[in-house]
Chain A
C-alpha cells in the first residue's frame, strides 16, 4: 500500500478517535442543556479507578420498585419513569421493559440488578452512580457525608441528575444545599 493510502486510512482512524469522545461530550451536553434536573437522595462511599482516578459511589434511596411483573433478567434494560415527591426529591413512578409511548413522564434507561420474589420488588442499577472527585477530596467526602447525616436531618444528601429521553448526566452531589466539592473544603477549614 502506498503512503498516501495508509495516510488516508490513518486520517479515518484518527477521526474516529476524535469523534468517539466528542460524541460522548455532545450527547451529555445536550442532556444538561435540555434535560430536566432531578434530585436523588443518596449516600456516597469512596473507591478508586486506576485510569480515571478517585470517585465516590452513590447508593441511592430509590433502588427498587414494587411490580407485579416477576420476569426480570439481570442486566436487561429497564425504563424507569420519574416523578417528584412532596419534598422535591425524585421517586420512581413506574418501571417498564419497553418504552411507554403514552407516558409523558421523564425516564431513563437503567439495568436490572435482580428481582426479589420475597418483596415483589425489582432492584435497579442506576446509570449515574459514579461521581469523580479530586483525589484528596474523595475520602473526605465520604466522611463528611457520614458526619452530616449524624448531626442533622437524615438524608440531606442528594445527587443532581439531568434526565432527557432515556439519557442521564450526573452533574453534582449536594450536601445540605452545598456542592460536595465545596462542602468538603468547608468541612476541612472548620
Chain B
C-alpha cells in the first residue's frame, strides 16, 4: 500500500475523523486491491528477461561461427526454436497465467527470428533485410491469437513497421510501396478490437492506442511515389483521420494521455500548418499542378473518405455538439489544395489564419474545461505561429518586441484568471 495513504489514515485516526475499525477496513481494502500487482511486476520482468535472452541468442548467432561445421550450426538453428515451441505448448496445455504466456510467447518470437537468420547465414541466402523481417512477422502472427499475448501483439506492430521502413524508405534505389504492411496491420486489428472491448482501461490498451497511430504516421511516407507536395495532403488527411478517431466518445471519454490518436492528430495538424505558414513553402506546395491519377492521390482520397465517414457518423450520432475546428480542418485544407490562387500570398495567408483560429479555439476549450494543459497548448500554438512569422517578415524590431511582450502577458493573464475561477468554484462548492 501507498505510504502516503497509510500516513493519511494514521492522521485521520489520531484526529478522530475515522474510527480505528474503519481504518483497518480501508487498509484491508487497499491490500486486497493491490494483491495482484506483484504478479504484474513479475510478468514484466519475465517479458524483459525472455526478450533479452531471445535477442541475445540472435546476436550470438550473428557472430557467424565459421569454425563450426554446417550440421552443428543447423542444429542450433532449430534448438532455440524447439525450446520456445515446447515452452509455449506447455503454457497452452497447462493453462498457465499471464506471466508464462507473455514470456514464452516473446521468447518464441525471437527464436523464430534467430532460426531463419541462421539458415540464411549458413547458405548465404541473399534475401535483404525486409524480406527476412516479413517472413519472421508472418511466421509469428498466428501466435498473437493462439497465446493471446499482448507483447506479441506489440512486437507484431513494431516489426511490421520496421519491415515497412526498410522496404519503403530506400535512399539508393527506386522507392517501393510496402502494401503488405497494410495486410500485416489488418491482421492485428481483431486483437486490438478485443482489447478495446474487454480491457479498455488497461495500461496495455493505451500502449496500443499510441503505437498503432504512431506506426501509421511513420509508415505513410513510404507510400509517396513522386510528388512531395501531395505528401502534405496525405499526411494532413491522416492526422485528420487520427484526430477524428480519437474524438469518438469511446476514446474521448478516457484520460487524454491514453489517447494517442487525438494527441498525434492534433500535433501533426499543427506542425504541417506551421511548416506551410511560410510564404515560400506554401507557394511551392499549393501552386503545383497535381497529378490526379497518381498513387499518392488515390491514398489521399481514401483517407479523406474514411475521415469523412467517421465525421458524418459522429454527426448522425450527435457526438459533435461542441464545435471543434480540428475535426473539420482537413476539409478546408483539401479544398485549399485544389483552388487556384490569384495572388501568391493567398495560400500562406489562409494557413496563418487557420493556425491562429485553431490556437484561439484550443485556448478557449482549455479555459472552458479548466484544463491548464490544453489552454497552454493553445497559447503555445499561437506563440509558435508568431515565432515563425519573425523569420520571413519585415516587421520592425519594436513591433516584434511588443508582440512578444503582449503574448507573454496573455500567458500570465489566462493562467491567472483560470486559477482564480477555479478557486472561486471550489469555494462555492
B123 CB, nearest partner CB in chain A, Å:
4
Interface presence of A49 (CB below 8 A) = yes
Some 14 contacts from A to B, beta carbons below 8 A apart, are A6-B92, A11-B89, A14-B89, A18-B78, A21-B81, A21-B116, A52-B132, A55-B124, A128-B126, A130-B124, A133-B64, A135-B63, A170-B123, A171-B124
CA distance A14 to B83 in the complex (A): 11
- Find out whether the CB atom of B124 lies under 8 angstroms from the CB atom of A131: yes
> Which A residues touch B17, using CB under 8 A?
none
Question: Given that A51-B58, A54-B64, A129-B126 are contacting pairs, would A10 and B117 also be in contact in the complex, using a CB cutoff of 8 Å?
Answer: no
> Which A residues touch B120, using CB under 8 A?
24, 52, 132
- Find out whether the CB atom of A51 lies under 8 angstroms from the CB atom of B62: yes
Interface presence of A134 (CB below 8 A) = yes
Q: A10-B89, A14-B88, A131-B124 are in contact. List 11 more A-B contacts (CB 8 A).
A: A9-B146, A10-B92, A14-B89, A17-B85, A21-B77, A21-B119, A24-B125, A51-B132, A53-B121, A128-B126, A135-B62
Which of A7, A22, A55 is close to B89, meaning CB atoms less than 8 Å apart? A7
> Which B residues touch A7, using CB under 8 A?
89, 92-93
A179 to chain B: closest residue by CB = B66
- Find out whether the CB atom of B126 lies under 8 angstroms from the CB atom of A3: no
1/0 contact string of B128-147 vs chain A (CB within 8 Å): 01001001000110110011
Question: Given that A10-B88, A20-B135, A21-B77 are contacting pairs, would A132 and B64 also be in contact in the complex, using a CB cutoff of 8 Å?
Answer: yes
- Find out whether the CB atom of B113 lies under 8 angstroms from the CB atom of A51: yes
Question: Given that A13-B146, A21-B77, A51-B132 are contacting pairs, would A169 and B124 also be in contact in the complex, using a CB cutoff of 8 Å?
Answer: yes
Question: Given that A133-B64, A135-B63 are contacting pairs, would A3 and B95 also be in contact in the complex, using a CB cutoff of 8 Å?
Answer: yes
Question: Given that A28-B123, A129-B126 are contacting pairs, would A14 and B62 also be in contact in the complex, using a CB cutoff of 8 Å?
Answer: no
> Which B residues touch A132, using CB under 8 A?
64, 120-122, 124
CA distance A17 to B135 in the complex (A): 10
A7 to chain B: closest residue by CB = B92
> Which B residues touch A51, using CB under 8 A?
58, 62, 113, 117, 129, 132
Interface presence of A63 (CB below 8 A) = no
Which of A13, A25, A50, A133 is close to B143, meaning CB atoms less than 8 Å apart? A13
Interface presence of A74 (CB below 8 A) = yes
B328 CB, nearest partner CB in chain A, Å:
42
Question: Given that A17-B112, A51-B117, A181-B66 are contacting pairs, would A28 and B129 also be in contact in the complex, using a CB cutoff of 8 Å?
Answer: no
- Find out whether the CB atom of B123 lies under 8 angstroms from the CB atom of A21: no
> Which B residues touch A165, using CB under 8 A?
none
Interface presence of B316 (CB below 8 A) = no
- Find out whether the CB atom of B63 lies under 8 angstroms from the CB atom of A53: yes
1/0 contact string of A121-156 vs chain B (CB within 8 Å): 000000111111111010000000000000000000
Interface presence of B115 (CB below 8 A) = yes
